[in-house]
Structure 1
Amino acid sequence: MTETQISTPKAAERRNPVRFTVPGGAVREIDVRYALNAGYAGRDTAQVQHHVDELAALGVPAPTRVPTLYPLSANLVSQTGNVQVPHAKTSGEAEWALVVGDDADDLLLTVACDHTDRALEVHGVAWSKQSAPDLLGDFAWPLADIAGELDAFALRAWVRHGDEERLVQDGTLAQLLPPAYWVDRLRAHGLLRPGTVVLSGTIPMIEGVDQFADGWRVELTDPRGTTSRVTYAVEKLPEAWD
């Protein structure tokens, strides 16, 4: 290679590994190659429309299709414990994530937190999704082993302000469209590819809790008490030198 040549890896060679403990204690490592974020994906259509109307009142553009799906850069998927943000108006969202392993039948489910720039969101939801990471949990279940009990999984999130934590989201997966909904549609469109991560959309926030926090903790817990969790601090960067 000469000094003027630049080596550009092919997509299949790029690595963004995530690691999960799975039932039995083994560790799975999967390279993330594609990322998709579902939105407006609640099962209660009236509640979804109420959410759309609430966001519209705040200036957030309404989607043209419900539920919707936002493709993201794969390098936004992370398991970091620290999220750096440009200003104070960012927050997370408690979600599940579907992770495609070696093939379309090798599916894992974990907890996730979709961190979002709320100031940018009013200019375009797709833009805001590209501006902050999707955080994945530490534990994952094979989807085939839990498909019949997913509605009983608890999904909760806490925000931290200083040393104080407050519950900001509290629900179950029964409130969201199930993984099978997205598996069928992504398979039909050729998008259920190895290394794909799909986030579910979120459940309602508890009113009166300040979501613009110093940190987030999100947990997904099965009926036996096994929990997958995401915990991270939010660090505001210095002001730009404009």
Structure 2
Amino acid sequence: MFPLSFDVNGEVVEVPVTALLNGGYAGRSQEDVAAHVAELAELGVPAPTKTPCLYPVAPYLAMQADEVPAQHERTSGEAEWALVVAGPEERDVLLTVACDHTDRALEVHGVAWSKQAGPDVLGRKAWRLVDVADRIDELTLTAWADGEVIQRGTLAELLTPQFWLDDLRERGLLKPGTVLLSGTIPMDAAVDQFAGSWRVELGDPKTGDVIACEYRVSRMPEPVE
């Protein structure tokens, strides 16, 4: 298993991923959660029985990639932040940007299945969570699909990193090698999500610092069967 590698204030931190989890329906505002449920319902995705959700994903799907192969044209990303547990101490919890690339055609049969059909693309830079914890709600999250802004908001719209750290601790998963993605913010329905390229940025208005991940989507050859 290849480790993820992060630039943390000039220090290279490598993290072999042992557990990968995707949060879902994780908005702090129930109105935003309902909007996301309605957005997915238009694609035929059944509503969850409870929120937030947590989907375990195969660890090898955590990638720092420039290209995502797709089996068909109905796949798309989601702007998210990610927690990366890089060691045993509080200062070892990293915060970075992520894009959960999801198979929307498979999603109508099961959200958990769809999460296994595409990678979680993470940024190559990260911040220590303790360094930004006092202004977590001010951090921004923006996504572009084929160069058009499709998602824009702040981390105040999502459940906090501390919420998920507490949840991981209760589940016995708060240990080195665990990566958790936050869930996403609403999309602009006027922008085509089935794009050939995605870019997501996590920004800190106080410092002007930005962490980005960006990739193109490539169609795989048709199966021979």
**Is the structural similarity TM-score above 0.5?**
yes
How many corresponding residue pairs? 223
**Letter of the aligned partner of 2:192 in structure 1?**
D
Runs of 4+ in 1 over 4 A off after TM superposition: none
Structure-1 separation of matches of 2:42 and 2:191:
19
Q: Name the counterpart of 1:99.
A: 84
Give the CA deviation at 1:56: 2.7
Query: C-alpha deviations, 1:63-96, integer Å up to 9, x for none?
Result: 1220010000000000010100100000000000
Give the CA deviation at 1:16: 2.7
- Residue 61 (structure 1) aligned to one of 46, 71, 78: 46
Q: Is 2:178 aligned against 1:196?
A: yes
Q: Give the share of equivalent positions with the same residue, in percent.
A: 57
Q: Is 2:225 aligned against 1:239?
A: no
Q: Which has the larger radius of gyration?
A: 1
Structure-2 separation of matches of 1:214 and 1:54:
21
Aligned partners of 2:35 and 2:186 also within 8 Å: no
Q: Name the counterpart of 2:25.
A: 40
Q: Is 2:110 aligned against 1:110?
A: no
Give the CA deviation at 1:188: 1.2
Query: C-alpha deviations, 1:32-76, integer Å up to 9, x for none?
Result: 111000000001112212322332343102112200100000000
Aligned partners of 1:104 and 1:194 also within 8 Å: no
Describe how 1:210-221 pairs up with structure 2 within 5 A: 210-221=192-203
Q: Normalising by structure 2, report the TM-score.
A: 0.96
Q: Name the counterpart of 2:68.
A: 83
Aligned partners of 1:216 and 1:231 also within 8 Å: yes
Structure-2 separation of matches of 1:191 and 1:104:
14
Unaligned runs of 5+ in 1: 1-14
Q: Normalising by structure 1, report the TM-score.
A: 0.89
Structure-2 separation of matches of 1:122 and 1:157:
23
Q: Is 2:162 aligned against 1:177?
A: no
Q: 1:90 to 1:45 in 2, by over 3 A?
A: same
RMSD: 1.1
Q: Name the counterpart of 2:212.
A: 229
Matched residue SS, 2:202? strand
